[in-house]
Amino acid sequence: MNGLPRFARVFGHQGVAEAYRHRPPYPDQVFAILGRLATAVPRTVLDLGAGEGALARPLASIVERVDAVDVSAAMIAVGRSRPGGDAPNLRWIHGPAETAGADGPYALATAGASLHWMDLAPLMARLDAVLAPGAQLAIVEHGARDAPWRERLDAVIERYSRNPDHDPAFSVVNVLGETFRRAGMAETRPVPFRQPVADFVEGLHSTSALAREHMDARESDAFGREVAEAVGPWIRDGVLDMTVTATVTWGVPATRAR
């Protein structure tokens, strides 16, 4: 983990890995879309920056095999313990996505909010080598849609974020630049998601800029209080209601598109 950017190294902490379970889940429609994209035979998937397997674990139930790569041993340990994490056709691979042992050809490569932590040129060259003919890379981004508290919450996050470049509108796809050629995009239907406020705060602590490892106990407590105040008008019986959507963008490494 030492060679990673400073804010990426936080994902090596056990507390951050444990907090991941409090992020909103991917809508089921995401996996229907990914299943349709994995057309090559055998239907094997390479999940890049897999974290605790929010994409890899459900995918293992619809394809022949998933290789889930992550540089964080803590993330992989938590992933193995989560539902579906011990599936016989799910192989966890510890190491950088750019160089970790992966034996394609793969029918599909997937990634959540992880590619911006990677060295894109060698990563895309690696994908070009291990993807089957016609196979693509699919990037999945998701979160609460049209949340009425967004402006108030963003103000709190801005005060506590340890990342001076924090951008509420950040999109992984937009940082890929000329290394990636888009072929298509689909947005899932909004799905309801209910979460206790304490769990909502924990989900925020799973991010690189808001991890507890960056805060002392006083700051962590104050952050939790301010988040609860920001979303307070929309809390009912201690629970926050939201709708979650995901965007799946797929394409190929630019070298393959030529």
Lowest average pLDDT, out of 87-96, 137-146, 204-213, goes to: 204-213
- Residue 128 sits in a domain of what CATH number? 3.40.50.150
Region at 53 (left for phi over 0; alpha for psi -120 to 50; beta for the rest):
left
Each residue of 224-255: pLDDT tens digit?
999 999 999 999 999 999 999 999 999 999 98
The answer to whether residue 117 is domain-embedded is yes
Residue 101: what pLDDT? 78
The answer to whether residue 90 is domain-embedded is yes
The answer to whether residue 221 is domain-embedded is no
What whole-number distance in Å separates Cα of residue 66 and Cα of residue 86? 12
Lookup result for tokens 């307070």: 232
The answer to whether residue 181 is domain-embedded is yes
User: What letters, b where the CB count within 10 A reaches 16 and e where it falls short, cover 233-242?
Assistant: eeeeeeebeb
pLDDT above 60: residue 3 = no
Of 141, 156, 145, give the one whose Cα is nearest residue 231. 156
DSSP letter (8 states) at residue 71:
S
Q: Which residues, 6 or more positions from 101, have their beta carbon under 8 angstroms from its beta carbon?
A: 93, 95
> How many structural domains comprise the chain?
1
How high does pLDDT run on average in the chain?
91
Q: Give the structural domain span for 137.
A: 9-143+167-189+244-257
The answer to whether residue 206 is domain-embedded is no
Each residue of 50-101: pLDDT tens digit?
999 999 999 999 999 999 999 999 999 999 999 999 999 999 999 999 988 7
What whole-number distance in Å separates Cα of residue 119 and Cα of residue 110? 16
Say if residue 229 is exposed, middle or buried (CB neighbours under 10 Å; 0-12, 13-18, 19+). exposed
Residue 258: what pLDDT? 56
- Coil, strand or helix: which one is 57? helix
Percent of the chain residues topping a pLDDT of 70: 95
What whole-number distance in Å separates Cα of residue 85 and Cα of residue 135? 25
Select the more confidently predicted residue: 199 or 209: 199
**C-beta separation of 102 from 67 below 8 A:** yes
The answer to whether residue 88 is domain-embedded is yes
Torsion of CA 227, 231, 237, 239, to 10 degrees: -80
The answer to whether residue 45 is domain-embedded is yes
DSSP letter (8 states) at residue 48:
E
The pLDDT of 35-52, averaged and rounded, is 95
Res. 2 pLDDT band, cuts 50 70 90: very low
Dig out the tokens for 150 from the structure. 């967004």
The answer to whether residue 14 is domain-embedded is yes
